[in-house]
Amino acid sequence: MMLTTFQKEMIVVLALKCVALFLLWFFFFSHPIAEKLDAKKIAEHFHSTF
């Protein structure tokens, strides 16, 4: 089965999006928060910014 140019481009775009999502997760969301912080301290800090 031959892929059309559009299908090839869509595969590349989707692959790049998956890589971009992984990189965003890895650099910004994969690291745990500091152990000394508990939910209460985080909530106090969050509410104090308003």
Tens digit of pLDDT for each residue in 18-45?
Answer: 999 999 999 998 887 777 888 888 888 8
Q: How far lies 48's CA from each of 33, 34, 39, 41, in Å? A: 19, 19, 14, 10
Question: Whole-prediction pTM value?
Answer: 0.60
Instruction: Give just the sign of the alpha carbon dihedral 38, 41, 44, 47.
Output: negative
Instruction: Give just the sign of the alpha carbon dihedral 32, 34, 40, 43.
Output: negative
* Number of residues written out for the chain: 50
- pLDDT given at position 50: 63
What the block records as the tokens of 24 is 């965003």
